[in-house]
Homo-oligomer: A and B are copies of this chain.
């Protein structure tokens, strides 16, 4: 065991300088520093990096960073929720999210607003973010155009082909979906039915035909894992993306079982028994994480942790 070596107050430090000082701390501070160190090692080694994205990170303002991570290949494979893709498209189409309490009023500590009022005024809420329902009308038009084009292209496809087709129809460089196309990073979204994309695919299928297979793209994900020299997982927020990434390790034959590196950033804790909050140690019992892996769980709002980690990582390893 090493001495706790406390962080000193800074004098206009860079983010990475701060993070290096946090190495001597315990609790969340020490874990934040360790997350950066593990990420740095992942990048130095020839690692295939799988990122899971759950939680409304795009509406909260993390879209540019996530897109840059894809574009600059800080990650090589993405598994996400449908909601993050929906909100990525909405911004790519020129619509915006709005911040409750970001305006003139001084007192908006809480996210308390009257949701019935919002409903009456055509606004939908995600914690302290709202957006106008017009954004979803634009989304609908856009998606039906994509579906039309896809229908002509293929009889049946995997969900990753659908996300790719969407990305090809967007031109916004700050889009996750567009960046993924440009950088050849596949985006998996196993629960895509559970999103506006799913709803519109269903509506579309009432009059036309769009065949998307539920299991088709698992082969590509598993191949990516099998063929990797080393494997790393960056899990933002748990949910389906976490398990979908980890379960790949259960079936993929590799010399060393399980992921070699894992970073988990979550506000869930193990005590409720959920997979989102499950420790990476537990993942070892399944063979999802290697018994000799380098792994850390950081209990923190990802909107705070991610910008810090990426500033520090990029200062160490520009790509």
Interface residues of A (CB under 8 A from B): 1-16, 18, 21-22, 24-30, 32, 54-56, 59-65, 68-69, 72, 83, 96-100, 102-103, 106-107, 109-112, 115-116, 118-119, 123-130, 156, 159, 174, 190-196, 198-199, 201-203, 205-206, 210-216, 218-219, 222, 237, 239-240, 243-244, 247, 250-251, 267-276, 278-287, 291-297, 299-301, 303-305, 307-308, 310-311, 314-315
Contact = CB atoms under 8 A, between A and B. Distances in A.
Number of copies: 4
Contact of A251 (B22, B174, B203): B203
Nearest to A79: B194
A107 B261 CA distance: 10
Given A29-B301, A110-B281, 14 more contacts: A18-B311, A24-B61, A25-B61, A32-B304, A106-B293, A127-B273, A190-B198, A194-B243, A198-B215, A199-B250, A203-B251, A213-B214, A269-B270, A300-B304
Contact of A190 (B5, B13, B127, B194): B194
A53 to B, nearest CB: 12
Contacts of A56: 27, 273-275
Contacts of A10: 15, 307, 310-311, 314-315
A112 B18 CA distance: 27
